[in-house]
Structure 1
Amino acid sequence: MALVTNLGAASGLPLATLLSSITASENLPLTAMSNQQSAYNAKLSAYGTIQNALSTLQAAAAQLGNPTLFQNVTAASSATSVLSATGTAAAGSGTYAINVGQLAQAQSLATGGVASTTAGIGTGTVTVQFGSISGGTLNAATGKYSGATFTADSTRAAASITIDSSSNTLAGIRDAINKNTSLGVTATIVNDGSSAPNRLVLTSNQTGATSTMQISVSGDAALSNLLSNDPAGTQNLQQTVEGKNAQLTVNGIAVTSASNTVKEAVQGVTMTLAGTGASSLSLQSNTATVQAAITNFVTTYNSLQTLTKQYTAFDTASQSQAPLNGDSTLRNIQTRIRDTMNTPQPASGSGAPLTMLAQIGVTFQSDGSMAIDTTKLTSALATNLSGVQNLFSSASGTTGFGSKMSTLLSGFTASNGPLKSATDGLNNSLKTLATQMTSTQSMISTTIARYTKQFVDLDTLVAGMNQTSSYLTQQFAAINGTTSK
């Protein structure tokens, strides 16, 4: 309630000052509640920041707990014009001599020339079957085989399209083939400049010797004469590009591939062939990635430590404390993290056993932070990557500092974890406090209103008595003056 600013003006009594003092006194409980409310909100904000820091640390720990991090391999080709490569977790370090003698290519067939692309040809059903050609002789000039055998690829079913009156032109046949992706063929029209210049060119969508086309036609003779092509029989089309497998050697061992993307010729490696020639393929464990992950973990851990000190500090000079000073939830989290980091891991792996972080140069400092001896860590990664992997991770996910810390930190930030319980408790306290503050404010307003009314009444009464006193004094003075005369 607003104070009556001219209270006491009529009576001359210090009623406004008195009411102000009473109001301040009555507001003391409300002020204490408001201070408590601010403290709760500061705690909530601090918990939120700590939760984010824990989540960041959990992500860093999870990365170290993943065994594939330590199996990352960098593949480098000495001749990128011949091949490029990528390694997976299954690849091992080593150097391989690669010689590419032939690239994989897709077969192309061309029809005889047609004068017009829009003139009707014929209707019927066109069926394409893929397979391989063996034996016989290829006439390079005519692009046709003699004495060859065609063997269908049993893994790929034949596919058909229907050519009707709406698609029986050269352009229509082209469009019908391209619309039916199940055929596995792309069609184009090439103009060779002759008197009947338009030739339909069919190209297999897949490279390799087993992607050679056998085309059969049932329907009009004109359509059959244009498109039917059996490498082991009647061939109405000219082979302009032969379907071939890629041919290469890996350390002298012959390798063939239907595609120019060669997988697992070297375990865990995918090579993309770009040209013929020789190249040296080098595979090296990418220890830089592992070192970056360990450094990131240490950095995020130290960030958490900095926040923890900030939120638990006590300023002796001002006798003020940070929001989480003495907080048991945060103290328990700190203790469990430190205990986990100081618990030796089981010795395993093919290299020298590593059980503690100090063995790879990661140590705790006197202020609670962690530091990295880069020289020691680099040496451990170069000479005992297997040991470092087992120090941080395992296939089961139950051992290793990365796995253990990831599980622990996930529990802290979970919906049923200690931070959630603490924040839920604070939010409940804030709701209760808000109710108490509303009730207290109402009582204070009622009390001040009562005092104000009483003081106003007192001011009026005293003012009236003062007026009466002044009047009587004047009258007595007048009477005394008359008597003396």
Structure 2
Amino acid sequence: MASISSLGIGSNLDLSTLLTNLQTAESQPLLQLQQRQVSYTSKLSAYGQLQSALTTLQASAKKLGDPVFFQGVKAAAGTAEVLSASAGGTAAPGTYNINVTQMAQAQSLVATGQASAKTAIGSGTITIDFGTIGGGTYDAVTGKYSGASFTPDAERTAKSITIDPAKSTLEDIRDAVNAAKAGVTASIVNDGSGTPNRLVLSSTETGKASSMRIAVAGDAALANLVSHDPAGSQSLQQTIQAQNAELTVNGIAVTSKSNTVKESIQGVTLNLLKVGTSSLGVTRDTATIETAINDFVKAYNALQTTAGSLTAYDAGTKSGAALMGDSTLRNIQVAIRQVLTNPQSGVMKTMSEIGVGFTKDGTLALDSDKLRKAMADNLEGVAGLFSSATGSTEGYGKQLSALVDKLTSTGGALQAATEGMKASIKDLDDQYDDMQERVDAKMAIYRAQFTQLDLLVSRMNSTSTYLTQQFASMSNSSK
């Protein structure tokens, strides 16, 4: 059977344009479905923006809904050069006088100088343990004890370090000590003398109980270099003595193995910086509370801004935003406002008592001066306005957080609207696919019919041409 390679070429008719026009007409329902898909997708995106704004509001409300949040305290040192401090939830407000008389420090021991750090010294096993030096006398010039005792720290285990004969230089000994992670750091200091290379061993922890005792089993040269027993033979020189921090808190003596002193004042951590005196004030952290309430106001206003943009009408384009007239958004706004205008049962009833109120445009405004005065006069009342103990539903923070949970959880208004929109989009996708198949099938029929028409007209044109030629030939013969 003859075929047409290009539609219309046989009949000399513009069948391709006609077929294109038919396809455009048949595809109109597809365009309508696409427009509905765009609308539904815009709504789904708008619900996502709404949920994000609600989540931010809930986070700020949840913080205020916790009564523990209002119990926060802060600690401030009068003399920042002497100490700094931080306070936890168990700290109680108060004023304290701190006198730091001694800083905690870690012990440091120095070996006799060696001409070269790369010359082998001797092999063996170095065993290091920690404890407290007691009694006897200490010569600050020689850096050694006489008649002292050593009491091991029961909470720490001695560590043994093997010095290999092939790796027994001063540098090797330093590296072996550091690799052992035995609570000691080793370094080599050059003092500029004829035998300048001196091994320095320093405890990684401060405090009297971190004094070192070092025993050596092996070559005498290694023992002569690093053995150290405060109660006996001492090859090393002590250059820094291990000691505890010593201070008084309101005249009460306190000792600490480190310069970070915890719980000498309940719930407070002191970071000692130098010897000296300082006052310390522990007060309620009202600044953080004010920030949290301000963040709550901002989060509510951001929600209102989001809602406004999602329901706006553009007079220029004569079109509305994705959620214009949407009942779900309107109901959510009404529910939130009802929570915030419902009086509480505590000492303070409404947010206006702390300087938070609605403006004409529906947003919230904060009077910071009024809030600070309310916190100064009755912080517990402010706390009760937003929070309550476990088992109670009182407090704006608690109630609003619960409302957002209800709205966004399974079965909630926003969740239901979101899932409904997803289902609608899926249904439109299915409808689009079905309709596309029908359009494709109909266009296949049109194409086949047009092809047959093209072939028929082409044949008729061929027949017409043939007959014309025959008639012309006959006419010429008769002449």
Structure 1 residue 357 and structure 2 residue 351: aligned? Answer: yes
Q: 1:380 aligns with which of 374, 379, 384?
A: 374
Q: Which structure 2 residues correspond to residues 123-162 of structure 1 after superposition, within 5 A?
A: 123-162=123-162
What is the distance in 1 between the residues matched to 2:438 and 2:421?
A: 25
Q: Provide, for residues 93-119 of structure 1, a one-character-per-residue CA deviation record: whole Å limited to 9, x for no partner.
A: 333222211111111112223333233
What is aligned with 1:300?
A: 299
Letter in 1 for 2:130: F
- Pair 1:398–1:221, CA change in 2 (3 A): farther
The equivalent of 1:64 in structure 2 is 64
**8 Å CA contact retained: 1:37, 1:433:** yes
Between the two proteins, the alignment pairs up a number of residues equal to: 440
Distance 1:405 1:319 in 2: 36
Shift of 1:274: 1.6
Cα drift, residue 346 of structure 1: 5.4
- Separation (CA, whole Å) in 2 of partners of 1:33 and 1:431: 12
Residue identity opposite 1:229 in structure 2:
H
2:57 match: secondary structure: helix
Q: Does 2:238 correspond to 1:239?
A: yes
Q: What does residue range 43-62 of structure 1 map to in structure 2 within 5 Å?
A: 43-62=43-62
What is the DSSP-based 3-state SS (H/G/I as helix, E as strand, rest coil) of the residue aligned with 1:259? coil
Task: Flag the 1:319–1:230 CA change in 2: closer, same or farther, 3 A.
Answer: closer
1:165-188 per-residue CA deviation (whole Å, 9 max, x = no partner) reads 13322222111111111x111112
Matches within 5 A, 1:38-437: 38-181=38-181, 183-312=182-311, 322-345=321-344, 347=346, 353-365=347-359, 367-394=361-388, 396=390, 399=393, 400-414=395-409, 417-437=412-432
Residue 265 of structure 2: SS of its match in structure 1?
coil
Calculate percent identity across the aligned residue pairs. Answer: 51
Looking at structure 2, the residues matched to 112 and 412 of structure 1 have their Cα atoms a distance apart, in angstroms, of 76
Displacement of 1:161 in angstroms is 0.6
* Coordinate RMSD, CA, aligned: 3.7
Amino acid at match of 1:405: L
Question: Following TM superposition, by how much is the alpha carbon of 1:311 offset from its aligned partner in structure 2, in angstroms?
Answer: 3.7
Cα deviation digits, residues 373-413 of structure 1 (max 9, x gap): 33321111222223322332346385432233223323433
In the alignment, the residues of structure 2 paired with residue 123 and residue 433 of structure 1 have an alpha-carbon distance, to the nearest angstrom, of 83
Name the CA shift for 1:26/1:197 in 2 (closer, same or farther; >3 Å): closer
- Structure 2 counterpart of 1:48, which letter? G
- The 1:438–1:188 alpha-carbon spacing in structure 2 relative to 1, beyond 3 Å, is closer
Q: Compared with structure 1, are the counterparts of its residues 369 and 198 closer, same or farther at alpha carbon in structure 2 (3 Å cutoff)?
A: closer
The amino acid across from 1:409 in the alignment is V
Q: Distance in 1 between matches of 2:437 and 2:167?
A: 88
Distance of 2:49 and 2:162 partners within structure 1: 67
- Does structure 2 retain, via aligned residues, the 8 Å contact 1:149–1:231? yes
Contact 1:398 1:404 in 2 (8 A): no
Report the AA paired with residue 233 of structure 1: G
Cα 1:333–1:225 shift into 2, 3 Å? same
What is the CA-CA distance between 1:192 and the residue it aligns to?
3.2
* TM superposition shift of 1:221: 2.4
Instruction: Give distance in 2, aligned partners of 1:50 and 1:391.
Output: 26
Q: SS at 1:207's partner residue?
A: coil
Q: CA deviation at 1:228?
A: 1.8
Deviations 1:397-452 (A, max 9, x none): 854322332233234334664323322222222332344455557767859x97xx
1:13-57 CA distances to partner (integer Å, 9 max, x unpaired)? xxx9xxx9x999988866665554443233223212211211221
Q: Secondary structure at the match of 1:265?
A: strand
Separation in 1, partners of 2:323, 2:37: 14
Aligned pair in 2 of structure 1 residues 35, 124: CA closer, same or farther (>3 Å)?
A: closer
CA contact (8 A) 1:55 1:410 kept: no
Gaps of 5+ in 2: 1-6, 8-12, 458-479
Q: Is the Cα–Cα contact under 8 Å of residues 161 and 180 in structure 1 kept in the other structure? A: yes
SS in 1 for 2:415: helix
Paired with 1:119 and 1:321, the residues of 2 have a C-alpha distance of 87
Question: Match of 1:268, as an amino acid?
Answer: G
Runs of at least 5 residues in structure 1 that lack an aligned partner in the other structure: 5-9, 11-15, 348-352, 462-485
How far does residue 261 in structure 1 lie from its aligned partner after superposition? 1.4
Partner amino acid, structure 1, of 2:77: S
State the match for 1:470 in structure 2.
none
Deviation at 1:73, TM superposition (A): 3.2
**1:151: how far off?**
0.9
> For residue 467 of structure 1, what is the aligned residue in structure 2?
none
Q: Name the CA shift for 1:148/1:308 in 2 (closer, same or farther; >3 Å).
A: same
Pairwise CA distance, 1:309: 4.2
> For residues 170 and 364 of structure 1, do their structure 2 counterparts lie closer, same or farther at Cα, with a shift above 3 Å needed?
same
Deviations along 1:203-259, one digit per CA (max 9) or x if unpaired, are 111111111111111222222222221111222222111111111122222111111
Partner letter of residue 421 of structure 1? A
Q: AA paired with 1:117?
A: A
Amino acid of the structure 1 residue aligned with 2:97 = A
Aligned partners of 1:178, 1:25: CA distance in 2, in Å? 83
Greater alpha carbon shift after TM alignment, 157-166 vs 436-445 = 436-445
Greater Cα shift, 207-216 or 417-426:
417-426
